[in-house]
């Protein structure tokens, strides 16, 4: 059984996987923990600890050789659950929802964008540029069951986000990525991850303001 792994660790594993994919595309055969550490500005010991976290599925390098890129990439892909071909729905067919539906990076990493959902009847039945169909939100439960959906992305205005996430949870989805501003409430058995672009921009603004004040 896996020990509890922090979200910071799993975030680092995702970064390692992305870099390993680049190395494999360049036909690089092996990589050391030192090279990985230099790539991400980390300590090599932390890299080795991250890769050895997972019991029987933990990744062990070879002294003097490092890690076999192809094997390490495959193991991280499995550890992160990307071999499961997750079905994803996007709630909200506005500009953000449509852009997310057509982002090719999701499919490359094993996330199937199955459907968009909206409450506006004039959008229902239309397709995104990439061919993802827009459904009435009342059909969510049916699509979730038919397509084995495991993840929902919330891309609706803040005023309706809590009601939409409630509908998502009632449909049986246990993992939610939220792009709507504000805090959402979900049951303890549902994993919610929020991305607030405004907060990120404000953080950058604070950094720039700090630079300006330091120069006075």
- How do the domains of the chain map onto residue ranges? 7-82, 85-199
DSSP 111-148: EEEEEEEES-TTTTT-B-TT-PBEEEGGGHHHHHHHHT
Q: Is 31 exposed, middle or buried (0-12, 13-18, 19+ CB in 10 A)?
A: buried
- CATH no. of 7-82: 1.10.10.10
Phi-psi region of 134 (alpha: psi -120 to 50; beta: other; left: phi over 0): beta
Q: What is the pTM of this model?
A: 0.83
Q: Is the pLDDT of residue 3 over 80?
A: no
Distance of CA 166 to the CA centre of its chain: 21
Two domains, one topology: 7-82 and 85-199: no
- What topology does CATH give the domain 85-199? Rossmann fold (3.40.50)
Indicate if the alpha-carbon torsion angle 155, 159, 164, 166 is positive or negative. Answer: positive
As a whole number, mean pLDDT of residues 152-160 equals 96
Q: Is the pLDDT of residue 152 over 50?
A: yes
Spell out the alpha helix ranges (H) of the chain.
7-25, 33-40, 44-51, 69-79, 95-101, 104-108, 140-147, 158-170, 197-214
Q: In this predicted structure, what is the pLDDT of residue 216?
A: 54
Q: Is the pLDDT of residue 90 over 60?
A: yes
């Amino acid at each position: 059984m896996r020990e509890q792994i922090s979200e910071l660790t799993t975030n680092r594993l995702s970064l390692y996987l992305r870099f390993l994919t680049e190395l494999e595309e360049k036909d690089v055969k092996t990589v050391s923990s030192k090279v990985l550490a230099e790539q991400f500005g980390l300590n090599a010991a932390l890299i080795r600890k991250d890769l050895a976290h997972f019991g029987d599925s933990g990744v062990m390098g070879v002294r003097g050789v490092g890690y076999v890129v192809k094997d390490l990439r495959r193991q991280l892909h499995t550890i992160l659950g990307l071999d499961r071909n997750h079905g994803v729905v996007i709630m909200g067919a506005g500009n953000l929802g449509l852009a997310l539906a057509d982002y090719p990076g999701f499919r490359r990493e094993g996330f199937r964008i199955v459907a968009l959902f909206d409450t506006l009847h004039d959008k229902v039945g239309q397709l995104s540029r990439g061919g993802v169909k827009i459904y009435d939100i009342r059909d969510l439960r049916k699509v979730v069951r038919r397509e084995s959906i495991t993840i929902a992305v919330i891309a609706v205005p803040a005023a309706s986000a809590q009601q939409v996430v409630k509908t998502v949870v009632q449909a049986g989805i246990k993992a939610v990525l939220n792009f709507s501003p504000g805090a959402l409430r979900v049951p303890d058995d549902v994993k919610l991850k929020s991305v607030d672009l405004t907060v990120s921009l404000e953080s950058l603004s604070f950094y720039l303001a700090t630079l300006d004040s330091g120069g006075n």
